[in-house]
A and B are shown apart, each in its own frame.
Chain A
């Protein structure tokens, strides 16, 4: 354990070169981590959209409210629908008005052009696109119904894109992890070369390879750990900076959206992972470059 602290001290003794290597590692790890958090937040966002009405059934213009209510009650009893909400033209107009930008246009209108809308949420078991399509067509066939619009299709597409992006980010993360291993490996290689004298003397005095290797492995672990901590800080900073604009955007939509950060588990995973990467990088490098000093 004391050896670990000595290695750390050695690193901190040269803050500038150490800092540069740590910064490279931190950036290399923060980049995929940040993108991953982005996808997680987008997923959470699309899930919240799922909560809203999936099918909007527009009734024929001229349908009276009582007629619409009868239809709504009938549909509410259907096992295929989980929730039925009636939206009167007045309500719809008011909602449009409060969403900013429509205020002037609405003031110009002499009469309400909007139809009655039934916001329908399908039952949980009906989630496949084809099933939703069929349900929508059947609803359109009902007397009094004009047309039905599936709201969720674009949400599904959005989720599919996000999932695809996640796979890409995983690949990116893997590549950058390899980069971190190489960076640490190279830095350790330089250190081994710089301390060649010391290593030779230790070998002459009868130190085992494990004994000589140890301080370099500690150094690699410290690089990984410090780099991981830097990455956690960078992602936390990014989330902090993004929260402001995101909150303002959410306000415009009358919702709130607290962003996902790495959290305790995510940070622990990042630190553990970066530590391992540092260890692997230094292990491979030390093993390779120490072996080059054996009796001929």
Chain B
């Protein structure tokens, strides 16, 4: 599903965010990504959803070399991935419903079908009754959950999460992890970047550790 081959990402001002990174993630895997702040976790995720292109090396997703993907194919590539951002990235002037429905509208799905899927996704994150609220009226944790709902509403085969439990209390964090595990069970590939070592430690999944842009640890596939 994901393959990094000697990937280096250099920024003109700040230097190397990723250095000679190589690893594989098979379809259906659930993998955690850990490392200190600035280790390159976010950069890695950005390369996968083509927000950036690598300076050197190859990033392959679903067999496609992203470095040579033409610009007009980028939207389609992103529609197949569910992205959960650290700063949730919600539209403040739209309701929760509209925010979660965005990937479906962009894909051209009909109103009725979109409505069903949006409500299903909101139900999975426990925010069904906040459908008509605006993001500014929600707590940080609720906003995060809306972002998660938006990521999964399109039923993507690959979900990338950048600190999904960052704003959540332990109980909610476990609930969200449970949701991720359910997705994993139906075959979704998940790559989750997280600081929450305690949470990860309790879960029997592969963990990639980054340090200063290089792979410092890989607990291997099960």
Interface residues of A (CB under 8 A from B): 197-198, 200-209, 211, 294-296
Contact = CB atoms under 8 A, between A and B. Distances in A.
15 contacts: A197-B91, A201-B89, A202-B106, A204-B83, A204-B89, A205-B78, A205-B103, A205-B106, A206-B77, A206-B78, A206-B79, A208-B72, A209-B75, A295-B74, A296-B53
Contact of A294 (B49, B71, B102, B103): B71
Contacts of B76: 206
Contacts of A203: 75, 78
Interface centre among A203, A205, A211, by most chain B C-beta atoms within 10 angstroms, is A205
Nearest to A291: B71
B107 interface: yes
Interface of B: 49-53, 71-72, 74-81, 83, 85, 89-91, 93, 102-103, 106-107, 150
Contacts of A208: 72, 75, 106
A206 B52 CA distance: 14
A5 B54 CA distance: 41
A202 B99 CA distance: 10
B53 A295 contact: yes
Contacts of B89: 200-201, 204
Contacts of A202: 102, 106
A211 B106 contact: yes
Contact of A206 (B53, B72, B93, B103): B103
A204 B51 contact: yes
Chain A interface mostly: helix
A295 B91 contact: no
Contact of B91 (A201, A294, A296): A201
Nearest to B85: A204
Contact of B75 (A200, A201, A206): A206
B108 to A, nearest CB: 9
A206 B81 CA distance: 9
A143 B76 CA distance: 96
B95 to A, nearest CB: 14
A246 B77 CA distance: 68
A205 B102 contact: yes
A296 B54 CA distance: 9
Given A204-B49, A211-B106, 15 more contacts: A198-B93, A201-B91, A201-B102, A202-B106, A204-B78, A204-B85, A205-B78, A205-B79, A205-B106, A206-B75, A208-B106, A294-B71, A295-B51, A295-B74, A296-B53
A202 B89 CA distance: 10
A151 to B, nearest CB: 70
A197 B52 CA distance: 17
Nearest to B11: A296
Q: Closest 7 A-B residue pairs measured CB to CB?
A: A206-B79, A206-B78, A207-B106, A208-B75, A206-B75, A205-B103, A201-B89
A12 B187 CA distance: 47
A296 B76 CA distance: 18
Nearest to A10: B93
Given A201-B91, A206-B77, A295 B106 contact: no
A204 B91 CA distance: 12
A33 B77 CA distance: 50
B52 A295 contact: yes
A53 to B, nearest CB: 73
A65 B79 CA distance: 99
